Amino acid sequence: MTEKKLDGKKVATEIRAEVAERVARLLGRGVVPRLDVVLVGDDPASRIYVGSKARVSEKLGMVSKTHRLPAETTPDKILALIDGLNEDPEVDGILVQLPLPAALDTHAVLDRIDPAKDVDGFHPVNVGLLQQGRPRLVACTPAGILELLRREAIPIEGRRAVVVGRSDIVGKPLAMLLLHAHATVTLCHSRTRDLAAVTREADILVAAAGRLALIGAEHVRPGAVVIDVGIHRVTDRATVERLFPGDAARLARFEGKGSVLAGDVDYARVEPVAARITPVPGGVGPLTIAMLMANTVRAAELRRGMAE
């Protein structure tokens, strides 16, 4: 019997192993892939994410450098730093950790990154190439979701895919990837009327709206594949009990930590309906960092004419 839970950790481990082999080949040719991360401000979650990215890249044999700037850093100084990284031949990937402080123009900062080093896949050039079906560096979370579907042998071609959420980071690029994989794609958002009627048409349903437990059983066609991109820290005991009824282990974690993680999907109620489903945590999250590593190596290969 097929395992219902889609294990993002397992697939991420496979991707990292492949990346390590590619890094070893580059090292054998005298190339050390390097990822530079720009962290502006002191957001606790961002610090954790940046630290994990640095640790994973170094485990895989790459060099990682973090540039930490205070929140009050002027736009000119940030852009000057990015210009320097663009010009540095040793730097293969540049990542600006989001969110940036509210006073900064995020688009202006991201647009300054050399598209060949844009390992987040957010630069308009890379977005345009994806739109045209000529992907070079693709946003990490959507790319990871496609890898998960393919490696778990979930058919995409000819299937109905519904993506809930239209962000530039997940919803829009994922819709493009699914379209290029020959799915029939519907992109939903906060103004979609009768959301459940639309999502019930999906063979593949992706929840990426950033709203806790938005997707319930009434949104899911029996036998659909459900991908949960959302991640929320739940700190209210009543909400934990409502979302995870009878889950003693989850409640124990809440008692110990004061919070648990949950997604955009009401997992306890959707899991019995779905054919396959990603958990939170352990689903999409690990894939994002794995694909960042893959993008960094791909950037190193492309910049030197070594890509296969």
Catalytic residue IDs = 53, 97, 120
Tokens of 276: 């396959």
**Peptide bond connecting 281 to the previous residue in cis, omega within 30 degrees of 0:** yes
Asked if 183 and 159 touch (Cβ cutoff 8 Å), the reply is yes
Distance (Å, whole) CA 174 – CA 155: 16
DSSP bridge partners of 260? 234
Give residue 211's region: left, alpha or beta (phi > 0; psi -120 to 50). Answer: beta
C-alpha distance from residue 109 to each of 83, 95, 288 (Å):
10, 11, 21
Cβ-proximal residues to 92 (8 Å cutoff; 6+ apart), any chain: 33, 34, 35, 117, 119, 296, 299, 300, 303
Angle at the Cα of 38 from the Cα atoms of 88 and 144, rounded to 5 degrees: 100
Distance (Å, whole) CA 228 – CA 207: 5
Distance (Å, whole) CA 223 – CA 218: 13
